[in-house]
Amino acid sequence: MGVLLRLVLLACCITLLPGQAEDVSAVVALLAALTSSALNGYLQAKPVLGVTLGLYILACMLWPPFGLFVPLVCYDALVMFQATDRPGWLLAVIGAFGVTVVNLPVATGLSVGALLGVSYLLAYYTVALEKNDKMARTLRDNAHELTLLLQRQNQELLAKQDYEIRLATLNERSRIAREIHDHVGHLLSRCLLQVGALLVTKPHGPHQESLTMIKDTLAQAMEQIRKSVHDLHAESFELRTQVEALVQEFTFCPIRLDYRLEREPSKDIAYCFLAVIKEGLNNIMRHSGATQATLMLLEHPALYQLILQDNGAGARPDTGQGLGLKSMLERVQTLQGQMTIDQEGGFRIFISIPKGGKTREGSHHR
């Protein structure tokens, strides 16, 4: 846009040349004005603008034809005045016009003054356009940032919603399993006892065979319910969901969770990890004084790893005597795993459990 406005001013200034067509200084003035305007338009630097404008005013004093292009040369000074609101630029333009009026004929000087007014209006339009363009870019950038923020928050809400739904589903499965085990299972067990008592007290009764069939049917039903409850309870446990729930409930200090288990580990390993995490988080709250904690669960081709560390420097239970740490170690060793503890720069528990590691005979899990 600035180039187009400069061309308009140049064309208007050239219309004043016919009376100076044979003057070599007029051609030199045209070239000087073009050079000055192009240089200022490209660099847009105040020092360069001040030097070129001062030199051009001096040229106007020595060679009157230079005054014909004052509107073009002063355009950048008027833009600077509109942008900075500093009167020095306007005074420089007025001085250039004063020199022009003195050295040129009255009619030509009035024409230059009119073109200078046009230059002022074009400068005002240029600055207003730049301000509007800058404001539009700012609004666009703010709108884009707000859109990204809303998208990120929407994704977080959807992820949280999925997590809440998954957790509620698993909790409901666990509740149903408990209800079946506590009520239906107990009723069937009582029925079995009652039928068994009848068979003992009346071993030769007329309904001996029927009672035996009923007992067998109840025993089969009891076995099926026990199996269904066990399967339902197993389905209601998901390690990632349980770990995320523990992390969300942990408010003692900020904690970062890095969960990188591609497949759900066996129930023995999952229960072990969950128990270790619970005990480790309790130890952080009771002993650490930490301001940051990190929980990592990693999967490798042959083993699973759990790393729980914090930056606390508070008193810790002795690594060989703490009951909580002993319990952790026993659980890990039961699954043929290893546990190491590092207390440099905080407290760090590092656990490795092989995949497919079976519980050792004679050990008790959970």
Q: Which is higher by pLDDT, 319 or 280? A: 280
Same domain, 112 and 8: yes
Same domain, 10 and 101: yes
Same domain, 244 and 206: no
The whole model's pTM is what?
0.42
In a domain, 327, yes or no: yes
What is the mean pLDDT of the segment spanning 333-348? 88
Would you say 259 and 297 are in contact if contact means Cβ atoms under 8 Å apart? yes
Would you say 278 and 331 are in contact if contact means Cβ atoms under 8 Å apart? no
Percent over 70 (pLDDT), the chain: 84
Mean pLDDT of all residues belonging to the chain: 80
Q: Which is higher by pLDDT, 149 or 108? A: 149
Dihedral sign of CA atoms 35, 37, 39, 45 in order = positive
Percent over 90 (pLDDT), the chain: 12
* pLDDT value of position 191: 82
Same domain, 222 and 291: no
Report pLDDT digits (tens) over 62-106: 888 888 888 888 888 888 887 887 888 778 888 887 887 777 778
Q: How many domains does the chain have?
A: 3
Same domain, 227 and 285: no
Say how far apart CA 232 and CA 281 lie, in whole Å: 28
Please give the order of strands across the beta sheet that includes 303-310. 255-260, 293-299, 303-310, 347-354, 338-342
Q: What share of the chain is helix, strand, coil (3-state, %, to 5)?
A: 70, 10, 20
Same domain, 226 and 279: no
In a domain, 85, yes or no: yes
Instruction: Give the domain extent around 337.
Output: 239-354
Q: Is residue 176 over pLDDT 50?
A: yes
In a domain, 363, yes or no: no
Report pLDDT digits (tens) over 12-61: 888 877 655 556 788 888 888 888 888 887 888 888 888 888 888 888 88
In a domain, 150, yes or no: no
* pLDDT value of position 215: 77
Final residue belonging to a domain, choices 184, 207, 235: 235
Final residue belonging to a domain, choices 84, 111, 134: 134
Q: Is residue 321 over pLDDT 50?
A: yes
Same domain, 127 and 24: yes
Q: Is residue 307 over pLDDT 90?
A: yes
Q: Which phi and psi (to 5°) does residue 305 adopt? A: -130, 145
pLDDT band at 234 (very low <50, low <70, confident <90, very high): low
In a domain, 256, yes or no: yes
Q: Is residue 363 over pLDDT 50?
A: no
Same domain, 322 and 249: yes
What is the mean pLDDT of the segment spanning 231-244? 70
Same domain, 203 and 316: no
Locus of tokens 């914090």: 310
